[in-house]
Amino acid sequence: MEGLIIREMNKVDLNDLSEVYMKVYNEYLDEQWTKESAYKLLSHLFKIQTDLSFVAVLNKKIIGGFIKPVKPWWNGYLMENGELFIDPKYRKKGVAQKLVLALFEKAKKIYSPNRTQLITFKDKIAYNWYKKLGYNEHKNWVILEGDFN
């Protein structure tokens, strides 16, 4: 995509990123994100892992982002599930792949992580895209969720 810039995220980017995040998850998963709740999440992740936070910018407009925390693990470092989101107008144009490559390149230099994990949607588009990147289902882990009530 001509004119696309992948760069490290700055705190001032969080406002625009919140708009994109809200749009993606409210449309794609029928969730109920507000700009405020998206900002809280992205701010939280940015504070945890400022050095592994990237944005995609096209014509001076933020169109996506990727934040992926890293934590010490028994055998080195583990890249945890993060947030990768692209404005729906710019999907299937290589933006996500460029964000992933930029973040992983920097992670290798700083942390040399042994493994990475993620949670993806059940739809075949996202699942197959991650499979093409080399991800496989974990043989022992299943994601469970529940309410505190």
What are the 10-residue block averages of pLDDT along the chain, 149 residues in total?
A: 95 98 88 96 96 96 95 86 91 92 91 68 65 70 61
Question: What per-residue confidence (pLDDT) applies to 51?
Answer: 95
SS3 54: strand
The residues, any chain, with a CB within 8 Å of residue 76's CB and separated by 6 or more, are: 112, 113, 114, 115
Question: What per-residue confidence (pLDDT) applies to 1?
Answer: 79
Question: What per-residue confidence (pLDDT) applies to 99?
Answer: 95
Question: What per-residue confidence (pLDDT) applies to 36?
Answer: 97
Question: What per-residue confidence (pLDDT) applies to 18?
Answer: 98
Question: What per-residue confidence (pLDDT) applies to 19?
Answer: 97
